[in-house]
Structure 1
Amino acid sequence: MQSPWQSLTLPAQFELTAEGITGPFNPDTASCLYTPLLHQQMLKVTGTDAMTFLQGQLSCDLRDVIREGSRLGAHCNIKGHMISLFRVIAQDEQCFWLRTHQGLAEKALAQLKKYIIFSKATASLDTQRCGIGFQGPGAAEVIRQFTGLSAEQIPETSSATCISGHWILCCISPGRYELWGEADELKPHLALLQSDSAHPMPLQQWLLGDIQAGIPDLRPETSEAFIPQMTNLQVFEGVSFRKGCYTGQEIVTRLQHRGQLKRPMYRVRVRCDERPLAGMSLHCDDKENVGQVVLAADTAETGVFELLAVILKERAEKDRVWLANHCPVEHLELPYTLDPRLFESKR
């Protein structure tokens, strides 16, 4: 567990574990909810060649990252399958942070280091930086008090980012933020989170927000399982089709312009005894392994879970799809639409 959080006093119904806060969901009407992002970790790439190096490795366009502040971006293998999925954050052309799931951080770093040896850049784990997720209509004001940032510095649009002093603040979607700071800087400010203006939420409630926004992520069980478009990454401009070559680019671009996407990502709901795990298979009555769970999270209703899952399109939209023990999934809407041309045969 990251040491700053040991000084955080939580209400009796909540508990801080190595995975994050556990406890009951807070109402969505709460002004500001927060949770430590213990499931995530930062990598750091620095040096005069940092931008050039990452431009040749990641699926997103680093010029967009510089302009907007952050972007989702994948590091693929030569077959176009995502090894790692990052939120790529730019301080400048010589300093980038790559936020990823902590279970993939070591693998992600090793993959970057395979290619970085010919660049004037270095990649490392940033073990001192800790994250907090904030959401709600009052989140921006609490963040302002927490960091000392001005109201004008708080980003309001998705991917917009502010880096000021020791703080990295990313707007994930309107009203939802990730705040990252070094542990020594973070600890003195934690008392603010114990005031009436901010309320703890379980990590599962934060992850549910990601699922409802249709934001993909990878876990060790799904590393190298998906091509970027299978997780709808292009919706978030996490895939660039204009920037030129990067590892796996030929496969990714071929699917976009010559191929046909047969397995997109859906948002679904399921009732079952236990939360589904990333990487679990989905089935139909007459065909097994028609899909795979990307992410799953609890909801406020016991025994009901929401999922992001990559599913064979012809099965997802026509047949009954179920998880283990024949628990059927129910389709829910995503907050975006996919380009129908992705599903057209181009032959």
Structure 2
Amino acid sequence: MQTRLPFFGVVRVSGEDRALFLHGQLSNDINNLASGQACYATYNTPKGRVLANMLVVNRGEDLLLVMAQDLTEAIVKRLRMFVLRAKVVFELMPDLAVSGELAENAEPHPAAEPQLSFPAQIQANTVEITLPHTGRLKISAAENAAEYQAGAENAWNLHEIRSGYPWICAATKEAAVAQMLNQHIIGAVHFRKGCYPGQEIIARAQYRGQVKRGLAVLSGDSLEAAGIAVKVGEEEAGFILNTALTEQGSLSLAVIKFSAAEAALTDADGNALKQEELFFTVEKD
């Protein structure tokens, strides 16, 4: 099944310093991302909070950044602030569209180990990437993109949720560090690449075990909006990232406190949420 994925927008990065500049801004090793390769990455505040997570594609003559459409303008504006004398140009690409394709009855495919880069097939103005979770992503001219199919989009979203691949949007930016979002597991963080905004915080969280929240799959009866609080009683215990419909109701990716791993959870309106899968382990006393 194929569909256009309107959640995503595309940014083009050109100029001879493009890779070096992004290497100093993003969490993955962009300077060594070869032509015809793609990787996941995060863009963070100096305090390590994720402003956006993205897919970076090296087309040889430029780099493409695929992220939530509602973040593209703000991220480009912020990146431009740090260009200074670097020879790099950022362009919003409304004429490009992102499509997704899943095999029928595709099974969830959580990351077994970080995959820091993976192949991207580049032909003319089209890029096709088999992502680590087995879904196939296509970037093409909008007029050549797959038609939008609501059911296929929902199936794509369910696959990413069940596989543990979240996406930050405007409603959830700056709400979590990379490890809370499973980014270190899927390969979006290169821990030996050198400095970038938030690097010290993210490294400290990794090596000193200071993260107290992680990614969870939650089921419920209603479709949850990104950014909605997850609660234990009256106490805040996390928030919703992404959600999709199921035959029984909905399935969501959420960031929750480790201490809420076995607690009775609700959304902000008191609707019950059930833990279906945790992408973190909790040590028993």
Shorter chain as normaliser: what TM range? 0.7 to 0.9
Structure 1 residue aligned with 2:63: 96
Partners of 2:238 and 2:150 lie apart in 1 by 34
Find the counterpart in structure 2 of residue 8 from structure 1.
none
Letter of the 2:155 partner, please give it: Q
* Deviation at residue 67 of structure 1 after TM alignment: 7.2
Matched residue, 1:30: none
State the distance in 2 between where 1:126 and 1:278 align.
25
Q: Is the counterpart of residue 311 in structure 1 residue 262 in structure 2?
A: no
Name the residue aligned to 1:176: 135
1:68/1:311 Cα in 2 relative to 1: closer, same or farther (>3 Å)? farther
Kept in 2: contact 1:50–1:120 (CA 8 A): yes
Structure 1 counterpart of 2:196 = 246
Q: Which residue of 2 aligns with 1:163?
A: 122
Q: Contact conserved, 2:50 with 2:177, CA < 8 A, in 1?
A: yes
Structure 1 residue 200 displacement after superposition: 7.3
Amino acid of the structure 2 residue aligned with 1:228 = A
Quote the residue 1:109 is aligned against: 76
Distance 1:52 1:133, change over 3 A: same
Amino acid at match of 2:264: R
Match of 2:158 in 1: 208
Matched, 1:291 2:238: yes
Residue type matched to 2:238 in 1?
Answer: G
Q: Does the 8 Å CA contact 2:46/2:198 hold for their aligned counterparts?
A: yes
Deviations 1:112-152 (A, max 9, x none): 1111232111111112111221111599xxxxxxxxxxxxx
Identity of aligned residues (%): 26
Going from structure 1 to structure 2, the CA distance change for 1:183 and 1:271 (only over 3 Å counts) comes to closer
Note closer, same or farther for the CA distance 1:205–1:255 as it changes in structure 2 (3 Å cut).
same
Whichever residue aligns with residue 306 of structure 1, its letter is L
Q: C-alpha distance in 1, partners of 2:259/2:104? A: 39
Structure with the greater alpha carbon radius of gyration: 1
Mapped partners of 2:185, 2:15: distance in 1: 30
* 1:267 and 2:211 correspond: no
Give yes or no for contact 1:81–1:226 (8 Å, CA) kept in 2.
yes
Gaps of 5+ in 1: 1-32, 140-157, 194-198
Q: 1:70: Cα distance to partner?
A: 1.3
2:14 to 12, 30, 46: 46
Contact 2:71 2:169 in 1 (8 A): yes
| CA RMSD across the alignment | 2.5
Q: CA deviation at 1:38?
A: 1.5
Aligned equivalents of 1:210, 1:136: Cα separation in 2: 13
How much has 1:268 moved relative to structure 2? 1.3
- Aligned equivalents of 1:200, 1:214: Cα separation in 2: 21
Q: More deviation in 239-248 or 159-168?
A: 159-168
1:231 Cα deviation from its structure 2 partner: 0.4
Scaled by the length of structure 2, the TM-score of the pair is 0.88
Among 309, 314, 332, the alignment partner of 2:276 is 332
Partner letter of residue 44 of structure 1? R
The one-letter code of the counterpart of 1:131 is V
Q: What letter matches 1:76 in structure 2?
A: N
* TM-superposed deviation, 1:47: 1.3
Give, in whole Å, the separation in 2 of the partners of 1:67 and 1:180: 16
Equivalent pairs, count = 273
Alignment-mate amino acid for residue 141 of structure 2: E
The one-letter code of the counterpart of 2:85 is F
Q: CA deviation digits over 1:301-336, x for unaligned, max 9?
A: 3xx11011000101223x2111133222222236xx
Work out the CA distance in 2 between the residues paired with 1:246 and 1:305. 37
| Secondary structure of the corresponding residue to residue 113 of structure 1 | helix
The CA distance in 2 between the partners of 1:64 and 1:325, in whole Å, is 47
TM-aligned CA deviation for residue 250 of structure 1: 1.1
What do the CA deviations read for 1:169-201 (whole angstroms, capped 9, x no partner)? 1112454111111235x17xx6xx7xxxxx873
Q: Distance in 1 between matches of 2:274 and 2:125?
A: 44
Distance 1:226 1:34, change over 3 A: same
Work out the CA distance in 2 between the residues paired with 1:118 and 1:166: 29
Aligned partners of 1:130, 1:67: CA distance in 2, in Å? 21
Task: Report the CA distance shift for 1:173/1:240 in structure 2 as closer, same or farther (over 3 A).
Answer: closer
Equivalent position to 1:282, from 211, 230, 243: 230
Q: How does 1:3-18 map to 2 (within 5 A)?
A: none
2:114 corresponding residue in structure 1: none
**Deviation of the 1:34 alpha carbon:** 1.0
Change (3 A) 1:162 1:282: same
SS in 2 for 1:221: coil
Report deviation, 1:63. 4.9
TM-score normalised over the length of structure 1: 0.73
